[in-house]
């Protein structure tokens, strides 16, 4: 059996239905084998970056590992941005790249290149993969594929990479004689002692908060997390990657906290005296730039599969549990079922929960005045589209305004998927990410919310959408450039560089662009009837582009506003003091911790 055929057969047996990529000479045998498969559809994008991002979008929506096939040289290097995003956000992915034949490789010589389009891709991608190798022995193919699959989907998940030289791709092998990979035997983690400590910490706390993160998605622990939440009267906050797990109007869900959080969530986390962190890496956009200013009086119960993320939080008084989240929750729920103290705890924390719900009602992100503004306000648009989408829709965003506004404003149904590449935050993710999501379930709509600047990064993928007739509704927030950069530059430097048409960045009329790709396109200019217009776009079958003409310099608020000293040093502020600042008296009234900051 030809090795490349074995690779495809292996993936078929794993239940893989799609592979994303761009063909190339260095991967010719792999390309041919994928092309012959009757079980795997080889989806052709128009750039390898888009292929790796589409693979991520597919994984996030389907829950299955995404596969990407690229060629040697630029094929591999082009895909690195997408792979890096999957690495940071812990998304399983397998990249299978072609490489020049072994005889044409530079190996350990001082040459920069020998074979055509050759580059040492493995050493480049090792920092952003869990495991990366070049296959030089055809008889190790089963072992390496199984190892890649295992590492990608176990522990803290992430991408793996196998680079296969051209001559190895064509080798004949005997599948029955191939040696398997044997996963390491893990000792069961016993947390019984810590379970008692957890309950004691909760019992002693006055203002506890549950924080859920992407670990809920990675471990597929949706049922368990809901069971835990329902047992306590404790407010729940989410990271960006977990913002779709609970419906927005859940009686215990407050929102998303951080630099671009909402006031209610930021007051909730800052006033907490106990953080119960479940599968969240507590990134800087969540905690703010200075960790010492974050939740200053909170003890932490930190459950994560990666001990390094917990160590990052070592400044706090931690009860650390290194475990797969699902395993932890199953065992902790069993432990709690034998205890009879939950009802008493609920009485203790009910007043605190009610206070956080008061904040949620009192401090909405979307203000009434946004609806009456002449040009469209992005917060008002997101609020309107949030009301119109079906319960099982998938929403994928790009970066900048489309990212922060959506994460601050959108009200998930609890059945929807809402995501972007939040860690790396690469502009251009929205369109290819939505392509992968659409292939995960073409029966349901996929919504892409992007900005004019980010849309330009992978605009070529409109042809992929048209070619496969994907039911993607593309909403482009047009603000003539890079709004987040404009606001930052105006505040700190009083001028613009590479963020406006006058300073070097311009975008086309996307309605005309859509027509060139033969995709139905339209423009919404004003707030009048915006809800009805959005509804009409969503009802359209197949792909459609809708550009939203918004304010060129609209404020993205509320947000944490850093201050710059006269020496150019940025001075961080606590995340509860969001800009525009509340009156001092009102702000102080909402602060319960003793260590108050100016």
What pLDDT digit, counting tens, does each position of 356-397 carry?
999 999 999 999 999 999 899 999 999 999 999 999 999 999
Range 521-550 average pLDDT? 96
Judge if 379 and 465 occupy the same domain. yes
Q: How many domains is the chain partitioned into structurally? A: 3
Cα separation, 234 vs 342, whole angstroms:
11
Range 479-508 average pLDDT? 96
Report residue 143's pLDDT band, with 50, 70 and 90 as the boundaries.
very high
Judge if 525 and 482 occupy the same domain. yes
Domain-ending residue, one of 341, 362, 383? 362
Cα separation, 373 vs 177, whole angstroms:
70
pLDDT, residue 339, reads 66
Range 100-112 average pLDDT? 94
Least confident of 53-57, 81-85, 344-348: 344-348
Residue 514 lies in a domain: yes
Percent of the chain with pLDDT over 70: 96
Q: At 495, which CATH number? A: 3.40.50.970
- pLDDT top residue among 190 and 233: 233
pLDDT, residue 187, reads 61
Strands (E) in 48-200, as ranges, are: 66-70, 93-99, 131-134, 159-165
Judge if 302 and 436 occupy the same domain. no
Least confident of 85-89, 261-265, 342-346, 529-533: 342-346
Q: Is the pLDDT of residue 193 over 90?
A: no
Q: Is the pLDDT of residue 168 over 90?
A: yes
Q: Is the pLDDT of residue 6 over 80?
A: yes
Cα separation, 25 vs 31, whole angstroms:
9
pLDDT, residue 192, reads 66
pLDDT, mean over the chain: 95
Looking from the CA of 45 toward its CB, the CA atoms found within 13 Å total: 30
Give the domain range for residue 335. 192-362
Q: At 255, which CATH number? A: 3.40.50.1220
Judge if 14 and 28 occupy the same domain. yes
Judge if 520 and 379 occupy the same domain. yes
Quickly tell me which residue has 């761009």 as its tokens: 22
Residue 163 exposed, middle or buried by CB count within 10 Å (0-12, 13-18, 19+): buried
pLDDT, residue 413, reads 93
Q: Is the pLDDT of residue 566 over 80?
A: no
pLDDT, residue 348, reads 79
Q: Is the pLDDT of residue 596 over 60?
A: no
Judge if 28 and 169 occupy the same domain. yes
| Bridge pairing between strands 159-165 and 131-134 | parallel
Domain-ending residue, one of 301, 336, 362? 362
pLDDT, residue 343, reads 62
Residue 204: strand pairing partners: none
Range 575-586 average pLDDT? 96
pLDDT, residue 598, reads 43
- The answer to whether 156 touches 135, Cβ cutoff 8 Å, is no
Residue 589 lies in a domain: no
Cα separation, 581 vs 598, whole angstroms:
11
- Per-residue pLDDT of 156-166, as tens digits, reads 999 999 999 99
pLDDT, residue 247, reads 96
Range 513-521 average pLDDT? 98
Percent of the chain with pLDDT over 90: 89
Report residue 190's pLDDT band, with 50, 70 and 90 as the boundaries.
low
- The answer to whether 53 touches 66, Cβ cutoff 8 Å, is no
Residue 568 lies in a domain: no
Judge if 259 and 407 occupy the same domain. no
- The answer to whether 165 touches 99, Cβ cutoff 8 Å, is yes
Judge if 319 and 428 occupy the same domain. no
pLDDT, residue 185, reads 83
Residue 68 lies in a domain: yes
Residue 583 lies in a domain: no
Judge if 82 and 130 occupy the same domain. yes
Range 468-483 average pLDDT? 98
Residue 14: strand pairing partners: none
Q: Is the pLDDT of residue 315 over 80?
A: no
Judge if 202 and 156 occupy the same domain. no
Residue 187 lies in a domain: no
- The answer to whether 450 touches 397, Cβ cutoff 8 Å, is yes
Judge if 152 and 285 occupy the same domain. no
Range 143-167 average pLDDT? 98
Cα separation, 260 vs 560, whole angstroms:
7
Residue 579 lies in a domain: no
Judge if 326 and 446 occupy the same domain. no
Range 81-94 average pLDDT? 98
Residue 569 lies in a domain: no
- Per-residue pLDDT of 257-313, as tens digits, reads 999 999 999 999 999 999 999 999 999 999 999 999 999 999 999 999 999 999 988
Cα 130 to Cα 91, 144, 228, 304, distances in angstroms: 11, 13, 31, 17
Domain-ending residue, one of 305, 339, 362? 362
- Per-residue pLDDT of 30-44, as tens digits, reads 999 999 999 999 999
Range 444-462 average pLDDT? 98
Whether this prediction's pTM lies above 0.75 is answered by yes
């Amino acid at each position: 059996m030809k090795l490349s055929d074995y690779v495809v057969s292996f993936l078929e047996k794993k239940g893989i239905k799609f592979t994303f990529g761009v063909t190339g000479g260095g991967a010719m045998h792999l390309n041919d084998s994928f092309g012959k498969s009757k079980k795997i559809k080889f989806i052709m994008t128009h750039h390898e970056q888009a292929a790796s991002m589409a693979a991520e979008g597919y994984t996030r929506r389907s829950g299955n590992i995404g596969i990407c096939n690229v060629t040697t040289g630029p094929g591999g290097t082009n895909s690195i941005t997408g792979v890096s995003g999957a690495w940071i956000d812990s998304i399983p992915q397998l990249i299978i790249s072609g490489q020049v034949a072994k005889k044409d490789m530079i190996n350990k010589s001082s040459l920069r290149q020998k074979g055509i389009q050759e580059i040492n891709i493995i050493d480049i991608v090792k920092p952003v993969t869990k495991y990366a190798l070049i296959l030089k022995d055809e008889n190790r193919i089963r072992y390496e594929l199984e190892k890649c699959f295992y590492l990608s989907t176990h522990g803290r998940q992430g991408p793996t990479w196998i680079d296969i030289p051209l001559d190895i791709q064509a080798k004949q092998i005997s599948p029955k004689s191939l040696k398997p990979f044997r996963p390491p035997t893990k000792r069961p983690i016993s947390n019984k002692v810590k379970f008692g400590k957890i309950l004691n910490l909760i019992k002693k706390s006055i203002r506890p908060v549950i924080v859920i993160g992407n670990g809920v998605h990675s471990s597929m622990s949706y049922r368990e997390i809901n069971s835990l939440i329902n047992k306590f009267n404790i407010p729940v906050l989410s990271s960006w990657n977990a913002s779709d797990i609970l419906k927005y109007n859940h009686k215990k869900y407050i929102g998303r906290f951080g630099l671009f959080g909402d006031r209610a969530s930021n007051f909730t986390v800052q006033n907490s005296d106990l953080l119960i962190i479940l599968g969240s890496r507590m990134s800087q956009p969540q905690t703010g730039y200075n960790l010492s200013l974050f939740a200053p009086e909170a003890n932490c119960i930190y459950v994560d599969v990666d001990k390094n993320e917990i160590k990052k939080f070592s400044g706090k008084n931690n009860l650390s549990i290194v475990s797969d989240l699902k395993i932890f929750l199953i065992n902790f729920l069993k432990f709690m079922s034998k205890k009879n103290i939950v009802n008493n705890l609920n009485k203790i924390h009910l007043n605190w929960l009610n206070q956080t719900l008061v904040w949620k009602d009192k401090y909405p992100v979307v203000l009434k005045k946004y609806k009456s503004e002449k040009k469209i306000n992005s917060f008002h648009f997101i609020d309107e589209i949030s009301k119109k989408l079906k319960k099982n829709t998938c929403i994928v965003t790009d970066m900048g305004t489309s990212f922060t506004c959506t994460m601050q404003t959108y009200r998930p149904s609890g059945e929807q998927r809402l995501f972007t590449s939040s860690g790396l935050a690469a502009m251009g993710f929205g369109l290819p990410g939505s392509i992968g999501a659409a292939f995960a379930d073409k029966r349901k709509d996929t919504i892409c919310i992007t900005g004019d600047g980010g849309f330009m990064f992978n605009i070529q993928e409109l042809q992929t959408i048209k070619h496969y007739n994907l039911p993607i509704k593309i909403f482009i927030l047009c603000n003539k450039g890079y709004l987040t950069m404009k606001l930052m530059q105006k505040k700190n430097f009083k001028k613009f560089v590479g963020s406006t048409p006058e300073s070097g960045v311009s975008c086309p009329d996307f309605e005309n662009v859509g027509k060139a790709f033969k995709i139905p396109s339209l423009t919404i200019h004003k707030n009048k009837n915006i809800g009805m217009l959005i509804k009409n776009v969503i009802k359209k079958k197949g792909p459609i582009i809708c550009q939203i003409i918004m304010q060129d310099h609209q404020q993205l608020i509320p947000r944490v506003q850093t201050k710059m000293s006269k020496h150019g040093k940025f001075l961080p502020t606590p995340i509860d003091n969001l800009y525009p600042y509340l009156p001092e008296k009102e702000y102080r009234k909402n602060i319960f911790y003793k260590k108050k900051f100016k």
